[in-house]
Structure 1
């Protein structure tokens, strides 16, 4: 019996490079497609673009913002998803009040750097908090991440920031999931901490929860073998 295709959804300013280290393992006997959000400026638009180009039924794995897109796909068309993996992500709307304004200010500051100094300068600053602290001297890893961000334009960055600031609360989506689900994060993820993923896991009936040791927010690029192993267990023979 043919296996369901696996759609891989990148996060903010990311592309196929975030999934590339995992593909040799994931592609064995299975079609894998990496999604491009283009200039979509809402998570709903990203989800609908994905669905318009997707096969009738598929497995879905999202990283960071890409997992929020996966949750919107589940909101819109849950019957088309055979299983879902949510990596290094969150599920709540932007906080009200001062906390929400602080998030918007931080994202705007990065956008201002990208506009005034270029995406590479912004990426070199941003990446410092995205990996395990001990990997900050790993020039190959950091260059791969910075180069990935640099492939996206400032307009894409602005559109995706708008999408994230307007994100909906997905608690109801998590509670309604009825397919095999994996929640995964890096132990040292400073953007989306383990506690946040534990809260997500508690809302999803029967979900698996895995923490990747010695990894930050970019766990698929930092610890590809460990992440691929967990994803293969989640996929099973489906």
Structure 2
């Protein structure tokens, strides 16, 4: 039997840190069209559709659905994709899903951004009434006034209005049921996930006060307010939303740069940064984020052990310029000259004597320079 999953779109390298993007009620993953491609430069971005929206089957939820039900569908999607831990950003109902995940499954979500959303959606009655209206009359009348609910005057995104008009009424009403029952205020103080709140200053549905309430309750959370944005800020002010999300989610790159400096030294890293150009910028980001932010920070191996492995690999491939740099790094990581010599002697057996001979010459020069600097 084929497993039914949320319709989704993946962008970015599969080796990059995963980032899931959740939509607002009435929209599809097209809500993220102006943001996701840029985020996919540094992340494996997975954006998904609500049941009955976009390409997701409507029968994944039914009457009386909850945000917890939607969160389980997101976890099923992540499991299917082989993703154990993922950063998460969501708008409105998608943001409520993120809050639920952070409160109930913190081991799965290391970083969270909640965009134009709330820990409660003004009580159950308005949503119960909307669900009844949609079940009775469909979505045509709601779609007609979507611009006023979603955007500042004079702005629109026709694709999103069409998503609203063509959503399945039963699934849409079930999502209204989920919003009616949602109230996470009593769990906010227990959320330990690093959390960013993004509010649209012109948002009538979830005004900045709702996001401020979350920011005040979640330990260490931060709040960004975006001028000129209403409820669907990623569509209306994508540049501002992108800047906020990058600042929050690019922790791997920031942590990687710190480790890179500790191992290679400020002088080397400063030279590399000074030589950076628009052509090499993505490669430098890749090195900081992936090599230094993920691999060198993995606690499975100590840094001195990683230095030994790196020295061996560089000798094996004849990368002697890199070898000189990593001999210095090995000394910073605690290896003695005798231990470095033992590693290089080991390479003579498994990588060849000529390679080890060149490696000893490089290492001897580096260690002599170090001794001269010390004296």
Which category describes the TM-score, using the shorter chain as reference length? 0.7 to 0.9
Structure 1 residues without counterparts, runs of 5 or longer: none
Instruction: Give the 3-state SS of the residue equivalent to 1:81 in structure 2.
Output: coil
Q: How far is the alpha carbon of 1:165 from its aligned partner?
A: 1.3
**What residue in structure 1 maps to residue 245 of structure 2?**
231
CA-to-aligned-CA distance 1:19-43 (integer Å, 9 cap, x gap): 1110121000310001233242321
- Distance (whole Å) between structure 2 residues aligned to residue 158 and residue 173 of structure 1: 26
- Distance (whole Å) between structure 1 residues aligned to residue 18 and residue 148 of structure 2: 34
Aligned match of 1:72 in 78, 95, 100? 100
Instruction: Give the 3-state SS of the residue equivalent to 1:79 in structure 2.
Output: coil
- Distance (whole Å) between structure 1 residues aligned to residue 107 and residue 238 of structure 2: 30
1:177 maps to 2:191 = yes
- Are the aligned partners of 1:186 and 1:215 in contact in 2 as well (CA < 8 Å)? yes
More helix by share: 2
**What residue in structure 2 maps to residue 160 of structure 1?**
175
Structure-2 change in CA distance of 1:130 and 1:93 (3 Å): closer
When normalised by structure 1's length, the TM-score is 0.86
Q: CA RMSD in A?
A: 1.9
Q: How far is the alpha carbon of 1:51 from its aligned partner?
A: 0.9
Structure 2 residues without counterparts, runs of 5 or longer: 1-14, 52-59, 253-375
1:12 maps to 2:40 = no
**What residue in structure 2 maps to residue 194 of structure 1?**
208
When normalised by structure 2's length, the TM-score is 0.56
Q: How far is the alpha carbon of 1:190 from its aligned partner?
A: 0.3
Aligned match of 2:109 in 58, 62, 81? 81
Structure of greater relative contact order (alpha carbons < 8 Å, 6+ residues apart):
1
- Distance (whole Å) between structure 2 residues aligned to residue 68 and residue 129 of structure 1: 18
Q: How far is the alpha carbon of 1:121 from its aligned partner?
A: 4.1
**What residue in structure 1 maps to residue 151 of structure 2?**
131
**What residue in structure 2 maps to residue 210 of structure 1?**
224
